[in-house]
Amino acid sequence: MLSLDTLVTWQEAIAFAAMALLVIAAYSDIRTFRIPNVLVLAIGALGVNRLVLLGDPISVIYAVIAVALVFLVGLLLFSRGIVGGGDVKLLAATILLIRYRDFYEFFVFMSVFGALLSLAAIIRTYVPIFAGSRGAARSAAVPYGVAIAAAGILTLLLQPLLYRYAISFGPSLLW
């Protein structure tokens, strides 16, 4: 049996490794509109390890149900051409990292970041200053993996285990 300090250290290490992978996934989505399967598998594996370390069967059940529901809805949206396959996979893998108590906050953050990304894509595409000589011929595609990654990172930082790290980025940095 591992001590509480060791469990907390492992949980923190997994969370920070997952945040680094989420940043890489977001960067990849911005540059190529693709999220490599290796990144998604690594994030999912970290999520599974985090669930195992929690040792709470209820958390595992809720996480598996949430992943299954999100993946099924995502597959439906992907089949209609509404979202990308990489976004669906990244969302499912990221949900494994999030405690079930924080699912609501995660989806709210993801929606806000997604709306901001969509607004930026519309501005970049249709505002003449940013659109350049091609005008509306440029694609208004949104790299939604960025919103998923940003929401995952923010949700992880606001969880009780990592909250002290999120506080250090607060207003005290401005003074």
Reported as a single tens digit per residue, the pLDDT across 21-44 is 999 999 999 999 999 999 999 999
The SS3 assignment for 132 reads helix
Stretch among 1-5, 132-136, 146-150, 170-174 having the lowest mean pLDDT: 170-174
Q: Are 101 and 55 in contact (CB under 8 A)?
A: no
Decide if pLDDT at 119 tops 70.
yes
What percentage of the chain exceeds 90 in pLDDT?
A: 64
Tell me: pLDDT of 117 over 90: yes
pLDDT (tens digit, 9 = 90+) per residue, 153-167? 999 999 877 766 555
Percent pLDDT > 70 in the chain is 85
**Size (the chain), residues:** 175
State pTM to two decimals.
Answer: 0.86
Q: What is the pLDDT of residue 5?
A: 84
**H helix runs in the chain, sequence order:** 4-32, 37-54, 57-79, 85-97, 103-126, 128-131, 145-158, 163-167
52-97 pLDDT tens trace: 988 889 989 999 999 999 999 999 999 999 999 999 999 999 999 9
The contacts found for 155-159 with CB under 8 angstroms, 24 or more apart, are 155/98, 155/102, 155/105, 155/106, 155/109, 156/15, 156/18, 156/19, 156/97, 156/98, 157/19, 158/102, 158/105, 159/15, 159/99, 159/102
pLDDT for position 175? 39
| Mean pLDDT calculated for residue range 133-159 | 82
